Amino acid sequence: MKRIFTILLSALLGSALSAQAASLEVVATTPDLGSIAMSIGGDKVHVTSLARGTEDPHFVDAKPSFARILNKADVLIEGGAELEIGWLPPLVDNARNRKIARGGEGRVDASEGVALLDIPAGKVDRSQGDVHAGGNPHYLLDPDNGKIVAKHLAAHFSKVDPANAAVYSKNLGVFEMALDAKAKEWSGLLQAHQGAKVVTYHKSFEYFAHHFGFVVVGQIESKPGIEPSPTYINSLIPKMKEASVKLVIVEPNRSKKTSEYVATSIGVPVVYLPILVGGNDEATDYIKLIDSNVRSVAKALK
Partner 1 sequence: MLSVLCGQAYAQSNPANNPPSVEQLQKQLQQMQEEFRKQQELQRQQIQSLEQQLQQLKQSQTTITQEQQAIKQQTTAAPTNNADKTGDPIMDKPWRITDPIRVSKGAAFMDIGLVGTLAAGGSTANDLDDLQIGGHDPNQRGFTLQGLEANFSGAVDTYFRGNANVLFAIDGEGETFVELEEAWLESIALPGNFQIRAGQYLTEFGRINTQHPHSWSFVDAPLVSARFLGSDGLRNPGARLSWLAPTPWYTELFLGLQNSQGSTATGFRSDGGHSHGGEGAEGIPFSFRHADNNRGIKGFDDLLITPRLATSFNLTDNQTLLLGVSGAFGPNANGGGGENTRTEIFGADLTWKWRPENHSGGFPFVQFQTEAMMRKYGTGSFDWDEDADGLLADEDGDGNPDAGQLFDPATGLPAILAAEKLTDYGLYSQLSYGFRKGWVAGLRFDYVTGDVASYQTMGLLEPDGTGGFNGVFDKYRATRYRISPNLTWYPTEFSKIRLQYNYDDRTDFGIDHSVWLQFQFVLGAHAAHKF
Q: How far is the CB of 154 from partner 1 (least distance, A)?
A: 6
**Residue 176 CB neighbours (<10 A):** 16
Q: Decide: 46 and 67 in contact? Cβ < 8 Å.
A: no
The correct pick among 22, 101, 183, 243 for binding partner 1 (CB under 8 A) is 101
Q: Residue 88 interacts with partner 1 (CB under 8 A)?
A: yes
The count of chain residues that interact with partner 1, using the rule CB under 8 A, is 74
Q: Residue 200 interacts with partner 1 (CB under 8 A)?
A: no
Q: Decide: 251 and 275 in contact? Cβ < 8 Å.
A: yes
Q: Decide: 285 and 88 in contact? Cβ < 8 Å.
A: no
- Scanning 18-26, 93-101, 203-211, 291-299 for contacts with partner 1 by CB under 8 A, the matching segment is 93-101
**Is the backbone of residue 174 left (phi > 0), alpha (psi -120 to 50) or beta?**
alpha
Q: Residue 284 interacts with partner 1 (CB under 8 A)?
A: no
- Scanning 121-129, 181-189, 207-215, 285-293 for contacts with partner 1 by CB under 8 A, the matching segment is 121-129
Roughly what angle, to the nearest 10 degrees, separates helices 143-160 and 165-190? 180
Roughly what angle, to the nearest 10 degrees, separates helices 165-190 and 286-301? 0
The correct pick among 22, 85, 215, 243 for binding partner 1 (CB under 8 A) is 85
The correct pick among 122, 184, 257, 302 for binding partner 1 (CB under 8 A) is 122
Euclidean distance between CA atoms 299 and 279, whole angstroms: 19
Closest C-alpha among 154, 140, 162 to residue 40? 154
Q: Residue 181 interacts with partner 1 (CB under 8 A)?
A: no
Q: Residue 132 interacts with partner 1 (CB under 8 A)?
A: yes
Please list every residue from 41 through 70 that binds partner 1, using CB under 8 A.
Answer: 52, 54-56, 58-59, 61-65, 67-68
Q: Residue 159 interacts with partner 1 (CB under 8 A)?
A: yes
Taking the least distance from each CB to partner 1, the nearer of 190 and 280 is: 280
